[in-house]
Amino acid sequence: MPKLMLALDVLDEFEAIKISEETSEYVDCIKIGYPLVLATDLGIVKRIKDKTGKEVICDFKVADIPSTNEKIAKLTLNYADGIICQGFVGPDSVKAIMDVAKEYNKKDPKNPKKVIMVTEMSHGGATSFMQPIANEIAKMAGDLKVNGIVAPSTRPARLKELKEIANNAFVISPGVGAQGGDLKEVLKVLDENDYVIVGRAIYLNENPKESAKKYKELL
């Protein structure tokens, strides 16, 4: 059974913490991105962690040259349990982030930082430019031994293929819920090390706690 990751793309700190607390009984991990961090500050990661006791992953899809990626990773991993980066920028840029994570892990091996690499995104436009190179990116993920990859629930056949290519990397998979991914098909692919990401179907629901509970039960 895969785990449930909440994609918390709200813009208000009070709302973010309220939803985080309400859903924490059913959510295994919380993913936040630029919308919430830009609306508040990077310290929102710690505030959510303190309120929920859950791991928080920063979905910044970092995609820059190695020296810039290094700076972003140092700032982010000072707060977050993991960071998401793009793979298309090449192995040197991804390795720069991995090296930062390794330094943090030397200091605190009991709470290892995770580096998660995007292979193929879940929206329709990803088939234009990302999909043709996604298999190569997944292979690079396996070669680099990143902790995890992002692969789409909206295309279960692609999800299966990318997971197999990336070898031992766990998968976090967006697309279930508002984007229409078929959870039954996704569950045939993912295992207990992986995560199903659900965002709007939970945080836009009138009762986020009940929605999170429903998805947890479905998993």
- Residue 100: pLDDT band (50, 70, 90) is very high
Residue 114 and residue 146 in contact, taking contact as beta carbons nearer than 8 Å: no
pLDDT score for 178:
83
Give the C-alpha separation, 5 to 29, whole Å. Answer: 5
DSSP sequence for 123-161: STTHHHHTHHHHHHHHHHHHHHT-SEEE--TTSHHHHHH
According to DSSP, residue 213 is labeled H
- Go through 75-93 and write b for each residue having 16 or more CB atoms within 10 A of its CB, e for each that does not: ebbebbbbbbbbbbbeeeb
Q: How far is CA 63 from CA 112, 156, 216, in A?
A: 22, 25, 32
Mean of pLDDT values over 118-134: 95
How do residues 128-153 score in pLDDT, each as one tens digit? Answer: 999 999 999 999 999 999 999 999 99
| Matching residue, tokens 């709007």 | 200
Which of the residues are catalytic? 61
pLDDT score for 177:
85
% of the chain with per-residue pLDDT over 70:
100
How do residues 156-203 score in pLDDT, each as one tens digit? Answer: 999 999 999 999 999 999 999 888 889 999 999 999 999 999 999 999
| Matching residue, tokens 């995890």 | 148
pLDDT score for 175:
93
